[in-house]
Amino acid sequence: MMGAVLLSEFATEIVVPVCAVIGIAFSLVQWLLVSRVKLNPERHASGNSNKNGYSDYLIEEEEGLNDPSVVTKCAEIQSAISEGATSFLFTEYQYVGIFMVAFAILIFLFLGSVEGFSSKSQPCTYDKEKTCKPALATAIFSTISFLLGAITSVLSGFLGMKIATYANARTTLEARKGVGKAFIVAFRSGAVMGFLLAANGLLVLFVAINLFKLYYGDDWEGLFEAITGYGLGGSSMALFGRVGGGIYTKAADVGADLVGKVERNIPEDDPRNPAVIADNVGDNVGDIAGMGSDLFGSYAESSCAALVVASISSFGINHEFTAMLYPLLISSVGILVCLITTLFATDFFEIKAVKEIEPALKKQLIISTVLMTVGIAIVTWVGVPSSFTIYNFGDQKVVKNWQLFLCVGVGLWAGLIIGFVTEYYTSNAYSPVQDVADSCRTGAATNVIFGLALGYKSVIIPIFAIAISIFVSFSFAAMYGIAVAALGMLSTIATGLAIDAYGPISDNAGGIAEMAGMSHHIRERTDALDAAGNTTAAIGKGFAIGSAALVSLALFGAFVSLAAISTVDVLTPKVFIGLIVGAMLPYWFSAMTMKSVGSAALKMVEEVRRQFNTIPGLMEGRAKPDYATCVKISTDASIKEMIPPGALVMLTPLIVGTFFGVETLAGVLAGALVSGVQIAISASNTGGAWDNAKKYIEAGASEHARTLGPKGSDPHKAAVIGDTVGDPLKDTSGPSLNILIKLMAVESLVFAPFFATHGGLLFKIF
């Protein structure tokens, strides 16, 4: 009945780790290339002799600005940013570490209690004839994989931050030679992070599966149930990274903008502004470390969801190892595809003008998607039998390999569509953002109205894209189809992350140029890099939200399968109350995160005002501001404020599952998914549009923009207010919501055996 697989088990065991190692090696090569830009002053900064020797130095020579003090200043600022980011992450990880241990114990107790901690083998859930390993084993191994996922997630974020703070000043220095050189440094550093993360996530998961197999032997059902802890660990760390980092970065940003730009009329990133270092540190801990952990979490969870469903399908029942590891094979090919794609940006084509930056980044997305389509076709052809069955709520559904290819492909292309729609709504090259900028003529109120409307409108097409991919993949391959569609969207994660990390790096580079007092030519170049980075960051968030929607639906399906519910009936009161409460949770969560940013920004504003009023000679530039106090305010606020939203997300599934049972919990998950996606997309795009409307007015690149500008005009002030309102939307609430959706689903999946046996206490009493 089932066809054989072309790729043998032995070959699979080699292909996956080899691809992961290639990814790690590639990121190290990129890092070496970035490190060739020296941060100590010397006459010829670059070791490679240029075709015509001196072309590199033209700008500096003309203005006689080639002084070593600028380089030294850049190095000083960079080390200040790096220290701030490192110390914040260490503080955050201390708190998160305590949580990690506590939650690991919880997992062990809850899952161990399913069979009353007995170490006897049990009949399998899906095949009562066979015996499976005891629930106690699942408890122990789930706890181990949870810790593995958590540590990998934390490492991903930390390494990303280290690379970004290493590259920011180097990007600034390269900008003296031209925009193309600066672009390559920023993009390469982004690639280091992207490839490290994709390869690490793959390698750790692969090793874990092989080690667990030593104990589980033929009990694949138990094995892959235990592996789900990996996704839970990855996402729970991402939640704290995203929320903590988001509060940190926005408290500093809002505080710096309100006092600096609006009250004191000094430019952004001016060294006189006490909050400026905290603001630049925030870009790294929020956008880089948070984003890294977040996408790693998505990636781990979609792999886990696919593996859980496959383990109770024909792949698992017939022990077809290659087909079982199909999700990992997709990721392996993804690394190779992204590697080729990256070369297009850094080596095959050279960027010479500012207007080529955004197209180059967009080409990255298109090239990786097209190549990946071919990659998926090959993997599906060699790694999956021509016909197989997939578990579909109680019965087995026959699926052909070409149908599986379409499932992955539809996810991949839906990701591209979401990316482009996001770009259309947030880039200042298109009419939506220009309309928002235009509305600034009549003040901040109209700017806010137009911005909100833009965000709500930008939800329409992405939701249709997600809906179509859900319909196609579910009709072809049930829940497995949705899980692999999510994986398809995330298969080009290395390129996606490279583009995403590029944004904060070039943002920092601009800040360093301003603080080091470099000429306006250089600031113009870094601004151009940064404006493109803003749009790509929005695209990255679009990907993260789109994949989160698919991932959580796949996890939801796996949860429903494991909790042995055959249908979720919306008309039963149990489910409906869950649905309506679940839909409320994203609002509650957003309220917490927004308010945290607001209150932290308030403290920051007071501190910045205090320094401007009490330090003599600060405005004239004779005295240095006290940067450390502002960094401390941000750190303390974000550590304190990340706990309540985190607790809300982590405790909801436990409380609902234990007291109300699996049906209500299924309702809560569905409700949170449906409302969370909408808020997340609209919040991210509204914030991104306001930010770029402000940049559009500042850059004054078109006739229209010049009628609104220059900096300091009334329309510009209105734009700054919009930007400040949008900051917590696009960098704290919006991106954290996709973690809320995924995390609740993956947590319910891990605890499903417990809820199925002991859950629903309230309904049992009455």
Instruction: Indicate whether 3 pLDDT > 60.
Output: no
Residue 656 is predicted with a pLDDT of: 95
- What is the distance between the alpha carbons of residues 611 and 437, in angstroms, rounded to a whole number? 33
Question: Do the Cβ atoms of 357 and 183 come closer than 8 Å?
Answer: yes
Work out the end-to-end distance of the chain between its first and last CA atoms, rounded to an integer number of angstroms: 50
Structure tokens at 696: 């559009």
Q: Choose the weakest-confidence range: 1-10, 131-140, 422-431, 624-633.
A: 1-10
* 388-421 residue pLDDT tens: 888 887 778 888 989 999 999 999 999 999 988 9
- What is the distance between the alpha carbons of residues 5 and 2, in angstroms, rounded to a whole number? 9
User: Crossing angle for the helix pair 291-311 and 135-174, nearest 10 degrees?
Assistant: 150
Question: Do the Cβ atoms of 303 and 181 come closer than 8 Å?
Answer: no
Q: Choose the weakest-confidence range: 129-133, 182-186, 389-393.
A: 129-133
Find all residues with CB under 8 Å of 174, minimum gap 6, and list them.
Answer: 37, 181, 182, 184, 185
Q: Does residue 710 have a cis peptide bond before it, meaning omega lies within 30 degrees of 0?
A: yes
Residue 195 is predicted with a pLDDT of: 94
* 645-673 residue pLDDT tens: 999 999 999 999 999 999 999 999 999 99
* 579-630 residue pLDDT tens: 999 999 999 999 999 999 999 999 999 999 999 999 998 988 888 899 999 9
Structure tokens at 146: 């949870």
Q: What is the pTM of this model?
A: 0.89
**Is the alpha carbon torsion for 372, 373, 374, 377 positive or negative?**
positive
Residue 353 is predicted with a pLDDT of: 82
- What is the distance between the alpha carbons of residues 707 and 712, in angstroms, rounded to a whole number? 13
Residue 541 is predicted with a pLDDT of: 83
User: Where are the alpha helices (H) located in 175-289, listed in sequence order?
Assistant: 179-216, 220-256, 276-282
Within 13 Å, how many C-alpha atoms sit on residue 55's CB side?
Answer: 7
Average pLDDT over residues 688-694: 91
Q: Which residue type sits at 317?
A: I
Length reported for the chain: 766
Q: What backbone torsions phi and psi does residue 40 show, to the nearest 5 degrees? A: -120, 145
Residue 51 is predicted with a pLDDT of: 41
Q: Determine how many CB atoms are found less than 10 A away from the CB of residue 359.
A: 12
- The CA dihedral of 719, 720, 724, 726, to the nearest 10 degrees, is 20
Residue 587 is predicted with a pLDDT of: 96
Question: Do the Cβ atoms of 230 and 245 come closer than 8 Å?
Answer: no
Instruction: Indicate whether 45 pLDDT > 80.
Output: no
Q: Does residue 616 have a cis peptide bond before it, meaning omega lies within 30 degrees of 0?
A: no
pLDDT band with cut points at 50, 70 and 90 for residue 46: very low
CA angle 592, 593, 598 (to 5 degrees): 100
pLDDT band with cut points at 50, 70 and 90 for residue 292: confident
Kindly tell me the burial class for residue 24, based on how many C-beta atoms sit within 10 Å of its own C-beta (0-12, 13-18, 19 or more).
middle
Residue 126 is predicted with a pLDDT of: 64
Within 13 Å, how many C-alpha atoms sit on residue 355's CB side?
Answer: 2
Instruction: Indicate whether 56 pLDDT > 60.
Output: no
Find all residues with CB under 8 Å of 93, minimum gap 6, and list them.
Answer: 154, 158
Q: Give, as one character, the DSSP assignment of residue 119.
A: -
- What is the distance between the alpha carbons of residues 507 and 186, in angstroms, rounded to a whole number? 10
Strand-pairing partners, residue 132, are 122
- What is the distance between the alpha carbons of residues 102 and 203, in angstroms, rounded to a whole number? 26
Kindly tell me the burial class for residue 96, based on how many C-beta atoms sit within 10 Å of its own C-beta (0-12, 13-18, 19 or more).
buried
Comparing 683 with 564, the larger pLDDT belongs to 683
- What is the distance between the alpha carbons of residues 95 and 583, in angstroms, rounded to a whole number? 29
Q: Which residue type sits at 460?
A: I
Q: Which of 407, 385, 12 is nearest to 209 (CA)?
A: 12
Average pLDDT over residues 352-356: 82
Average pLDDT over residues 322-338: 94
Average pLDDT over residues 200-204: 94
Residue 127 is predicted with a pLDDT of: 66
Average pLDDT over residues 136-145: 92
Per-residue burial over 375-409, b = 16 or more CB atoms within 10 Å of its CB, e = otherwise: bbeebbebbbbeebbbbbeeeebebbbebbbbbbb
Find all residues with CB under 8 Å of 453, minimum gap 6, and list them.
Answer: none
Instruction: Indicate whether 53 pLDDT > 80.
Output: no
pLDDT band with cut points at 50, 70 and 90 for residue 275: very high
What is the SS3 assignment for 399? strand
Q: Choose the weakest-confidence range: 79-83, 185-189, 756-760.
A: 756-760
Structure tokens at 413: 């292309």
- What is the distance between the alpha carbons of residues 590 and 584, in angstroms, rounded to a whole number? 10
Instruction: Indicate whether 384 pLDDT > 60.
Output: yes
pLDDT band with cut points at 50, 70 and 90 for residue 356: confident
- What is the distance between the alpha carbons of residues 365 and 532, in angstroms, rounded to a whole number? 14
Averaged pLDDT of the chain = 88
Residue 557 is predicted with a pLDDT of: 87
Q: What is the CA radius of gyration of the chain?
A: 26
Residue 203 is predicted with a pLDDT of: 95
* 232-267 residue pLDDT tens: 999 999 999 899 999 999 999 888 888 888 888 888
Question: Do the Cβ atoms of 564 and 756 come closer than 8 Å?
Answer: yes
Report the percent of the chain where pLDDT is more than 70.
Answer: 95
Q: Choose the weakest-confidence range: 33-42, 135-144, 180-189.
A: 33-42
Within 13 Å, how many C-alpha atoms sit on residue 264's CB side?
Answer: 24
Q: Which of 238, 249, 292 is nearest to 508 (CA)?
A: 249
- What is the distance between the alpha carbons of residues 538 and 458, in angstroms, rounded to a whole number? 12
Residue 375 is predicted with a pLDDT of: 95
- The CA dihedral of 188, 191, 195, 196, to the nearest 10 degrees, is 70
Q: Choose the weakest-confidence range: 19-23, 541-545, 667-671.
A: 541-545
Instruction: Indicate whether 121 pLDDT > 80.
Output: no
CA dist 686 → 128, 167, 253, 416 (Å): 53, 29, 17, 20
User: Crossing angle for the helix pair 493-515 and 291-311, nearest 10 degrees?
Assistant: 170
Residue 178 is predicted with a pLDDT of: 87
Q: What is the DSSP string of 357-418?
A: HHHHHHHHHHHHHHHHHHHHHHHHHHHS-SEEEEEETTEEEEEEHHHHHHHHHHHHHHHHHH
Residue 132 is predicted with a pLDDT of: 77
Residue 231 is predicted with a pLDDT of: 92
User: Crossing angle for the helix pair 643-660 and 68-112, nearest 10 degrees?
Assistant: 20
Q: Give, as one character, the DSSP assignment of residue 619.
A: T
Q: Which of 647, 602, 610 is nearest to 626 (CA)?
A: 610
Q: Which of 351, 428, 420 is nearest to 186 (CA)?
A: 351
Average pLDDT over residues 553-558: 90
Average pLDDT over residues 303-320: 88
Q: Choose the weakest-confidence range: 84-88, 540-544, 685-689.
A: 540-544
Q: What is the DSSP string of 553-611?
A: HHHHHHHHHHTT-S---TTSHHHHHHHHHHHHHHHHHHHHHHHHHHHHHHHHHHHHHHH
Residue in the block written with tokens 């939506």: 432
Average pLDDT over residues 705-727: 89
pLDDT band with cut points at 50, 70 and 90 for residue 517: confident
Comparing 355 with 549, the larger pLDDT belongs to 549
Average pLDDT over residues 541-549: 87
Q: Which residue type sits at 179?
A: V
CA angle 143, 745, 191 (to 5 degrees): 80
